[in-house]
Amino acid sequence: MRELKPLSLPAIWNMSFGFFGIQFGWGLQMANMSAIYQYLGASEGEIPILWLAAPLTGLIVQPIIGYYSDRTWHRTFGRRRPYFFVGALCASLALIAMPNSSALWMAASLLWILDASINVSMEPFRAFVADLLPPKQRQVGFAMQSLMIGFGAVLSSYLPWLLTQLGVASAEATAGGIPRSVHLSFQIGAGVYFLAVLYTIFTTKEHPPETDTVPHTGAATSFVTEIIQGIRQMPLVMRRLAVVQFFTWLGLFCLWIYFTPAIARAIFHGAPGSPEYQKAVEWGGTCFGTYNGVAFVVAFLLVLLAKQGVPAKQLHRVGLICAAAGLLSVGFIERPGLLQVSMIGVGIGWATILSMPYALLSNAIPPAQMGFYMGVFNFFIVLPQILAATLLGPVVQHLLGGRAIIAVMAGGACMLIAAAALSWVPEEKAA
């Protein structure tokens, strides 16, 4: 087995920078898609099912990309980088097209394309860290990715609001009634996404896979067979982390789907199309920007703590408890400004969610199947999202009387369950 040499922080920065662009595009989607759907006529009860694109494309695409990227090698283009490029190109085109949607079906279709493309470029980045860094540096590598994710997300979340402040009238609508500020934000995001990924492609070289450790199977059914075998043979760390991930991402999806509709109704008292609702959309974007900004700052601290050897599990538990407190507190807030305080807790949790589970996992799975297992691990992110997308709508509409704020608080309860489940996850020692 090849002995990997430690990399400098600038080198780790270069290999992680593409995630800045990926999260810039992802952040625009997270902060604006529910509002785009409502501009095009969707009710609050219909929103969750329209979000199914994200988990379903992740469920299908990430294991496939992980499987084949483990087996890819080109002397010029490398192992993971071809997937970075193709995913970034397709995602950028989808971002440009999204705000031009003139009907609900068009926006929903473009979201499928966008999410599939994001997953193509995102999945290999997780394996990229384990490919290039020795085990003792992987926690630093994933923390650096968290830093890039926070940086990209905070800028993208604030962008529509910032453009409005610079004179792009939020009330000036394009096709489907979508504000001009959102339209321009998605165009900018497309450029940032593509250029950031290109930066990593051109500044980071990959090692050829070791031929004696890369699995080779010629049967047409090898992919399906390995999916089944991989699930059956998952390491104990991965099995127990699956429970943590399930409740963590169930809580996150409650936030992403319902935060803007929740504050629009409970705090701003606005209906879709009203000036109050537009204020809620812009304020929701700034709240998303706040928690991503906090995550960006906390990620610096995580890098330092990781270099000092603070256990990943300990850091993650603190983060999940902070996120739970932030989401639960939303239900007790009456003034918009206090939402920013809640987002501080969410941001601390988001920083650890983006890095610590992968640091725990990467030292417990075979290096030659790193991409594949990272893709399988994604099952436990997308399955709770599918559950949320199919059940949250009827629950909010019929059981909660349309009070989306309760769904956001339920996300906080899920975070507490995840923090408790983390106690049963063993922590592999880095070699």
**DSSP code of residue 273:** T
Residue 162 CB-density burial (10 A; 0-12 exposed, 13-18 middle, 19+ buried): middle
Structure tokens given for 256:
């992403």
What residue spans define the domains of the chain?
Answer: 9-205+221-424
Q: What is the pTM of this model?
A: 0.74
C-alpha pair distances (Å), 43 with each of 34, 36, 49, 261, 283: 10, 11, 11, 10, 20
Cα separation, 244 vs 415, in Å, equals 9
Q: State the architecture of 9-205+221-424 in CATH terms.
A: Up-down Bundle (1.20)
Per-residue pLDDT of the chain (431 residues), as tens digits, is 567 788 898 999 999 999 899 989 988 887 788 888 888 888 767 777 787 776 777 778 877 888 888 888 887 888 889 999 999 999 999 999 998 888 888 888 898 899 889 989 888 888 888 888 888 888 888 888 888 887 887 788 778 878 878 877 555 555 567 788 888 999 999 999 999 999 999 999 888 876 544 454 444 456 677 677 777 888 888 999 999 999 999 999 889 888 888 888 888 877 776 878 778 877 887 888 788 888 888 988 888 888 788 888 999 999 999 999 999 999 898 888 899 999 999 999 998 998 889 888 887 887 777 777 887 888 888 888 888 878 877 887 777 776 788 988 999 999 999 999 999 998 765 44
